[in-house]
Amino acid sequence: MRKNIILLLSIAVLCHVEATAQPFEKLSAQLKKYAVVYDSYQHANYPVLTGNTAIGGLADPLGRGVYNIEMNELYLNEKDRLTGPGMMLKIAQFSGLTPASYRQFYNLENGILTTDVAYTEGAYHSELFFSQDEKELMVYTLKNEGQKPLVCNIDFGMYDCRIESRTKTTFYGISPKDAFTCLHYSLQSNIPFETFTPYAKDVFLYVPPGETLEIIARLKVTPTAAPQAINIPTETAPLFQNHIRRWHDNWQAMGIIILPEGEYAKAFYRSLHWLQCTAGAEKNLPGESQFGMLSSKIAAEYHYQGNASLNHSSWYQLPFTYGGAGWATYAYTLLGDKERAGKMLSNFYRPESLKKNVKLIVPVGEHEFTYNHKPKGRYEYLSHDNPDAMCFAHENMYDQTNHVVPPWDKQVHVQGFAPSMFYHYNRLYAEKEDTAYAVMKGSAEFWHTLLHYDSNQKSYTLPPLLSLTEDLFEANTLDGLIAAKWTLAQAALMAKKRNTDKLLRDEWAHIAQHIRIKDRNNVYLEFNGDDGSRAGAGYMGIRGYAYLGFPTLETMKNFSPAIVNQSLDQCWLRNKKGEGMITFIANWFALTDAYWGRAEEAYEKSAYCLTQLDPSGTAMCEQNGMLYYFLTGYASFVTVPVSMVLQSIDNDIKVFPAVPKAFADIEFYNLPAENGIRVSGIMKNGKTQRVWFEKDGKTLLESTGKEKVCASWSNNRLIVKKP
Query: Average pLDDT of 681-705?
Result: 91
> Which has more pLDDT, 456 or 510?
510
SS3 169: coil
Contacts of 658 (CB under 8 A, 6+ apart): 593, 594, 595, 596, 597, 598, 599, 602, 643, 644, 647
Q: Which amino acid is at 448?
A: H
Give residue 294's pLDDT: 79
More confident residue, 1 or 331: 331
Reported as a pLDDT band with limits 50, 70 and 90, residue 8 is very low
Reply yes or no on whether the pLDDT at 7 is more than 80. no
Which one is predicted more confidently, 414 or 712? 414
**pLDDT higher than 60, residue 19:** no
For the entire predicted model, the pTM comes to 0.94
pLDDT at 705: 74
pLDDT at 506 over 60: yes
Candidates 91, 90, 115; CA nearest to 103 is 115
Higher pLDDT, residue 536 or 721: 536
Q: Among 6-10, 29-33, 205-209, 615-619, whose mean pLDDT is lowest? A: 6-10
What is the C-alpha to C-alpha distance for residues 122 and 372, in angstroms, rounded to an integer? 61
pLDDT at 306 over 80: no
- Residue 18's pLDDT band (boundaries 50, 70, 90)? very low
* Distances 287 to 86, 158, 315, 449, 503 between C-alpha atoms, Å: 19, 20, 8, 31, 40
Query: What does the pLDDT look like over 119-156, one tens digit per residue?
Result: 999 999 999 999 999 999 999 999 999 999 999 998 88
CB 468 within 8 A of CB 482: no
- In this structure, of 8-22, 219-233, 454-468, the range with the lowest mean pLDDT score is 8-22
Q: Omega of the bond prior to 351 within 30 degrees of 0, cis? A: no
The pLDDT assigned to 310 comes to 54
pLDDT grade for 307, boundaries at 50, 70 and 90: low
- The pLDDT value recorded for residue 189 is 95
Find the mean pLDDT for residues 350-374: 94
Q: What pLDDT, on the 0 to 100 scale, is given for residue 706?
A: 67
Give pLDDT, residue 72: 95
Collapsing DSSP to helix, strand or coil, 303 comes out as coil
Between 532 and 274, the higher pLDDT residue:
274
pLDDT at 246: 97
Average pLDDT over residues 364-386: 92
Output 231 or 39, whichever has higher pLDDT: 39
For residue 3, name the pLDDT band (cuts at 50, 70, 90). Answer: very low
In which band, very low, low, confident or very high, does the pLDDT at 309 lie, cut at 50, 70 and 90?
Answer: low
Q: What is the DSSP secondary-structure string of 578-604?
A: GTT--HHHHHHHHHHHHHTT-HHHHHH
Strand, helix or coil at 179? coil
Report the C-alpha gap between 185 and 166 in whole angstroms.
12
Domain boundaries of the chain, sorted by first residue = 40-252
- 534 pLDDT more than 70: yes
* Percent of all residues in the chain with a pLDDT value above 90, rounded to a whole number: 76
- Res. 161 pLDDT band, cuts 50 70 90: confident
- Which residues have CB under 8 Å from 481's CB, separation 6+? 462, 515, 516, 517
Torsion of CA 465, 402, 546, 349, to 10 degrees: -130
pLDDT the model gives residue 117 = 98
The per-residue pLDDT for 704 is 78
Q: How confident is the model at residue 501 (pLDDT cuts 50, 70, 90)?
A: very high
CA distance 19 to 503: 52
Segment 136-146, tens digit of pLDDT: 999 999 999 99
Query: What secondary structure does DSSP assign to 208-266, as a single string?
Result: -TT-EEEEEEEEEEESS---------S-SHHHHHHHHHHHHHHHHTS-EEEPPSSHHHH
Structure confidence at residue 264 (pLDDT): 98
Q: In this predicted model, what pLDDT tens digit does every residue of 393-433 receive, in sequence order? A: 999 999 999 999 999 999 999 999 999 999 999 999 998 99
pLDDT, mean over the chain:
91
More confident residue, 705 or 506: 506
Q: Cβ neighbours of residue 95 under 8 Å, at least 6 residues apart? A: none
Nearest to 86, CA basis, from 102, 99, 71 = 71
Whether the pLDDT of residue 486 is over 60: the answer is yes
Bridge partners (DSSP) listed for residue 473: 466
At residue 315, the pLDDT reads 77
Reply yes or no on whether the pLDDT at 386 is more than 60. Answer: yes
The CATH number of the structural domain formed by 40-252 is: 2.70.98.50
Higher-pLDDT residue of 528 and 5 is 528
Q: Which residues of 76-89 are buried (b: 16+ CB within 10 A; e: fewer)?
A: eeebbbbbbbbbbb
Q: Residue 67 pLDDT > 70, yes or no?
A: yes
Specify whether the CB–CB gap between 36 and 618 falls below 8 A.
yes
What's the average model confidence in pLDDT over 560-583? 97
Using pLDDT thresholds of 50, 70 and 90, give the confidence band for residue 717.
confident
Task: Considering only residues 311 and 380, tell me which one the structure prediction assigns the higher pLDDT.
Answer: 380
Q: Lowest mean pLDDT: which of 261-270, 352-361, 621-630, 698-707?
A: 698-707
The whole-number average pLDDT for the span 98-107 is 96
Closest of 80, 81, 71 to residue 51, by C-alpha: 71
- What mean pLDDT is predicted for residues 354-383? 93
Cis bond before residue 551 (omega within 30° of 0): yes
Q: What pLDDT is attached to residue 17? A: 37
Answer whether residue 253 shows pLDDT above 90. Answer: yes
* Residue 487 in this model has a pLDDT that exceeds 90: yes
